[in-house]
Amino acid sequence: MAFAPMGPEVSFFEVLDQHRASLLATLRRGGREPAGGGTHLASRFEDSVGLQMVSHCTTRKIKSDSPKSVKNFALILKILSMIYKLVQSNTYATKRDIYYTDSQLFGNQAIVDNIINDISCMLKVPRRCLHILSTSKGLIAGNLRYIEEGGTKVNCSCATAVAVPSNIQGIRNLITDAKFLLIVEKDATFQRLLDDNFCSKISPCVMVTGKGVPDLNTRLLVKKLWDTFHIPIFTLVDADPHGIEIMCIYKYGSMSMSFEAHNLTVPAIRWLGLLPSDIKRLNIPKDTLIPMTKRDQMKLDSILKRPYVTCQPFWRKEMEIMADSKMKAEIQALTFLSSDYLSRVYLPNKLKFGGWI
């Protein structure tokens, strides 16, 4: 069933449609970005996939007869036995469920998380193949419908957002007429856009937020929407190193999950805002900006040294603007111009005239 057309006139989406045609042409050529990649630590960067684990990376051994690793070895066996039972019974559990089966034995949740990641990496299978699910914290709203694994029909076009499912692999019959997907860094910004009826005013579209650093399910959902519909995907993040880092996780992946890059990354993602150059262009007052801390500067320097920045000269230019100014800005800085400037002016103009990089 199709969605009823709403929002701006058809000509509004002309540049977006051209961008999608360009993305589809890139896919037909083999999915590669215009420029090449490089290498970095234990991960190899490939522009069509993101950060991937290399075969000759450093490994560590855990021995059953070593006093230093005997406990960790025992915990791995404990979790492997639980995974075996889950697979045999075709049931699922969250990492939190596993931790609470014997919280005193495991000590803390981080130990369980790390062991599960190690097992997934060791066996070279996605975590969901181990029948272990992550607890979702992300939200989705807009022009999208699907059926969950248990048969529940979900309509994301309601006034309130829908929680990202915990089993992305199990959802089916996805339907959308969306022209684009907008990834919003922060929940507060996401909720403000909902309050401003952004999804209705710029319909058809879909919005997703991972509420900061995205959880695995939010990343899997973004990847699934890209693989299914191949619509343009944009990020809306703060003009600071933390926001850029979050955008890079969606687009290129992370070192810790590089062994699963093919299932998580979407290199076609584009940076819509907030761009550091927008701060000067829009005459945002300096008293609404925030001085960068030493930690911010170290994070920005680290990002600038990453291999994928070599194929993103416009990203590099924006980050250099930030580094030179030694200032950062939150998306909320736009409220100085007007309370609804983000949804009424900033995003519509960016989308209509191709203001992404």
Cβ-in-10-Å burial (0-12, 13-18, 19+) of 313 comes to: exposed
Residues 6+ apart with CB under 8 A from 341: 334, 335
Q: Are strands 233-236 and 206-209 parallel, antiparallel or unpaired?
A: unpaired
> Which of 90, 129, 95 is CA-nearest to residue 115?
95
Using DSSP's 3-state secondary structure scheme, residue 181 falls into strand
Tokens encoding 207: 């919005």
Categorise residue 197: left if φ over 0, alpha if ψ from -120 to 50, beta otherwise. Answer: left
Tokens encoding 319: 């980050």
Return the biggest CA–CA distance within the chain.
Answer: 70
> Which of 351, 334, 291 is CA-nearest to residue 17?
351
Active-site positions? 100
Euclidean distance between CA atoms 283 and 103, whole angstroms? 53
The H-assigned helical ranges of 186-293 are 187-195, 198-201, 216-229, 241-252, 261-264, 276-281
Intra-chain end-to-end CA distance of the chain, in Å? 34
Euclidean distance between CA atoms 199 and 6, whole angstroms? 10
Euclidean distance between CA atoms 102 and 292, whole angstroms? 43
